Amino acid sequence: SEDGYDLWLRYRPLDKTARASVQAQARSIVLAGEPSPTTRAAVEELKRGLAGMLGRDPAVAARPGDGALLLATPARLPELAGATNALRGELATLGDEGYLLRQTRIAGHNVTLIAANTDIGLLYGAYAWLRDAATGAKPEAASAPKLQLRMLNHWDNLDRVVERGYSGQSIWDWWALPDIKDQRYTDYARANASLGINGTVLNNVNSKPEVLTAPFIAKAAAVADVLRPYGIKVYLSARFSTPLELHETATADPLSPEVRAWWQRKADEIYKVIPDFGGFLVKANSEGQPGPQDYHRTHADGANMLAAALAPHKGIVMWRAFVYAPGEHSASDRAKQAYDEFKPLDGSFAANVLVQVKNGAIDFQPREPFHPLFGAMPKTPLMMEFQITKEYLGFSTDMAYLGTMFEETLRSDTRTGRTVAQTLTGMAGVANIGSDRNWSGSHFDQANWYAYGRLAWNPQASARDIATEWAALTFSPDVRVTAPVVDMLMMSRETVVNYMTPLGLHHIMGTGHHYGPAPWVDNLERPDWNPVYYHRADSKGIGFDRTASGTNALEQYAPEIARQYADPHTTPEQFLLWFHHLPWDYVMPSGRTLWAELLARYDKGLADAKSLQSRWAALKPMIDPRRYREEEQRLARQVYNATLWRDACIAYFQSVSGLALPPGVQAPA
């Protein structure tokens, strides 16, 4: 359909050549052994996919014949266990979730084999085969996830309002659950399983005590039942003061025996109804949330107490490092707080605790240098927290493909012997999913969900390859569509950076909504709520000095980085004003003054937003009318937003710098 509900699982009719090849690979679908809920999901998806791509219902057979698409694990098919050493050897390296696609001879027949060690591996393999079929790729692959935990975090409240959600209400209908399980939950599971997502936190990190009461646990259990066959575990965000607020304990002190016993009982209660419950995600002592520091305990004390309650059931705690509170850091440099609080705790977390760190030290800005905690906590398993929902990148109106942004962070070299990606055990993405027909508000934003999932499976994957795959699956495999769509995706995030926060500027969005520009705001109660805190522009210059002459946040990075970035001339231009306060006449590599460069960037941002719009217009004959129109409207709004950003920022910075606009540039009306 053209409403976007099918996401990248559209299974549109193939052209003649592709059809012949797919037909030859799948004359019948054969599952070796007895069906399980997971293999049933795999076979159903293959049937759906083949029916769509070939235009007729595929045969399902009990025994392999020539041309069968065969799903098998060694346990399901003794011939597979007896297969060539090469095949067996390869399978052995793929673990519990990997899969292998191969055209080979098994049990006396030429088959296309989807092999894995487990049923969930078969499901992932089925999705991979379908992806190859739909994009014309050869079904030859062996793949296993590089990260253990591949999570979505929903910031969904129980009243279905989604914090920073721009695509309708929460898909979780808490009122109707547990009796009524919307078909959407199944389709959600399919979409996520197709990417290899294996966990989901159902509720907002700004959590409520009610979440952990029996009625809500029953509702979460109903969702878990739907997601289980797809390999997706359910997790909940737990409010640290839950027992106290439910009036079941007199304190929430993590060292109090009464509190520890309460959490233990709570964990036992949850596992009775959700036997494979994943565990808790916790936001503590941040933005007004309760936490162990309220009792003069550390983050480790708090996390370990919950971890002890979950450990007997194999559950985990994901403890967030996004800590941001009034006090010394707020007055000097908010960017330093997480490192200062967490780095000293490295080595003191229980084995089933992971520390979940946002990609950057401020807050999901259009561009941030990687968070200094990556590489700095070698004794603690870390999760990357990315934001898929575009809180600071124009919500679901502005086009901004985040694949390039995720890739930039993951590939950053921490200079501790590892890239950021190599420091990770898991990844969490703050979901952009809502009840809108197309799930993400904008069709292009589906690409961000997709790219997140693909990178969680393989953080070394290329953002461009992922974009190409997504465009082929979502619009058409025709290169006349994919090439221009991929070009748009690839330029889109830099476009947003340029018209919002070029050269390392950050957090100059309107406080509260975070949508439009407000660099002038300076009168809010807390210093770090004010955009002026971040850009520090005055008559002499602009930028945040995070070197030794300023807050020295730079010292939180490995010495090589700290040394390189101490000098503006060797600081990457994209982070210049993140680390340095520089005079307006500072000479940039382009030969322009900083002031002229800033203006040029804002101009480029606007010009590129217009270019996105005209590129889309050129695609009109190739895109179905509904999706064309829905994005056309958004791209027009994006040009408006870019104009507003450029004009407002230039007018404001000019009022501070007192500098003239260069010849040819007109003062904004």
Q: Which residues are catalytic?
A: 287, 363, 391
Count the residues of the shown chain that bind ligand GCW, applying the rule CB under 6 A.
Answer: 11
Contact residue for ligand GCW among 6, 45, 156, 391 (CB under 6 A): 391
Q: Which amino acid is at 643?
A: T
| Of 215, 346, 226, nearest in space to 269 by CA | 215
Q: Which helix (H) or strand (E) holds 342?
A: helix 337-342
- Shortest distance in whole angstroms from residue 131 CB to ligand GCW: 32
Residue closer to ligand GCW by CB (options 364, 439) is 364
E strand spans, 481-598: 541-542, 582-583
Cβ at position 91, least distance to ligand GCW in Å? 40
What's the CA gap between 640 and 334, in Å, rounded?
32
Would you say 324 or 579 has its CB closer to ligand GCW? 324
Nearest CA among 11, 315, 309 for reference residue 135 = 11
Are 257 and 222 within 8 A, CB to CB? no
Shortest distance (Å) from residue 368 CB to ligand GCW: 12
Q: Choose between 151 and 598: whose C-beta lies nearer to ligand GCW.
A: 151
DSSP codes of every residue in 219-233: HHHHHHHHHGGGT-E
Cα angle 535, 409, 200 (rounded to 5 degrees) comes to 110
User: Does the footprint of ligand GCW cover residue 240 (CB under 6 A)?
Assistant: no
511 lines the binding site for ligand GCW (CB under 6 A): no
Least distance CB 336 / ligand GCW (angstroms): 17
Closest CA to 349 of 315, 311, 310, 299: 299
Pick the closer one to ligand GCW by CB: 124 or 322: 322
Q: Cβ of residue 630: shortest distance to ligand GCW, in angstroms?
A: 26
Annotate each residue in 293-332 with x if it binds ligand GCW (CB under 6 A) or - if it does not, as one string: -----------------------------x----------
Minimal distance, residue 290 CB to ligand GCW, in Å: 13
Q: Does 206 bind ligand GCW (CB under 6 A)?
A: yes
Nearer to ligand GCW, 39 or 337 (CB): 337
Shortest distance, position 294 Cβ to ligand GCW, whole Å: 17
457 counts as binding ligand GCW under rule CB under 6 A:
no
**Does 340 help bind ligand GCW (rule: CB under 6 A)?**
no
Q: Which is nearer to ligand GCW, 287 or 560 (CB)?
A: 287
Quick one: tokens of 450? 């997709």
- Residue 298's contacts (CB-CB under 8 Å, 6 or more residues apart) are 292, 345, 348
Q: Does 283 participate in binding ligand GCW (rule CB under 6 A)?
A: yes
- Helices (H) and strands (E) counted in the chain, each on its own, are 21, 16
Q: How far apart are CA 233 and CA 237, in angstroms?
A: 13
| 379 neighbors 353 (Cβ within 8 angstroms) | no
Contact 180, 456 (CB under 8 A): no
368 binds ligand GCW (CB under 6 A): no
Rounded to an integer, what distance in angstroms lies between the CA atom of residue 375 and that of residue 334?
20
Is residue 363 near ligand GCW by the rule CB under 6 A?
yes
- Minimum CB–partner distance for residue 428 and ligand GCW (Å): 11
Instruction: Determine if 164 is a binding residue for ligand GCW (CB under 6 A).
Output: yes
Asked if 333 touches ligand GCW (CB under 6 A), the answer is no
Residue 436 near ligand GCW by CB under 6 A: no
**Sole binder of ligand GCW in the list 364, 457, 520, 575 (CB under 6 A):** 364
Q: Is 155 in the site for ligand GCW (CB under 6 A)?
A: yes
Secondary structure class of 130 (helix, strand, coil) = helix
Which residues fall within 8 angstroms of residue 212, CB to CB, at 6 or more apart?
236, 238, 239, 242, 246, 266, 270
Is 205 a binding residue for ligand GCW by CB under 6 A? The answer is yes
Using alpha carbons only, what angle is made at residue 430 by residues 427 and 431, rounded to the nearest 5 degrees?
A: 115
CB closer to ligand GCW out of 237 and 571: 237
Does residue 156 belong to the site contacting ligand GCW (CB under 6 A)? no
Residue 507 binds ligand GCW, judged by CB under 6 A: no
Apex CA 196: angle with CA 627 and CA 398, to 5°?
35
**Is the CB of residue 527 less than 8 Å from the CB of residue 544?**
no
Per CB under 6 A, residues contacting ligand GCW are 155, 163-164, 205-206, 283, 287, 322, 363-364, 391
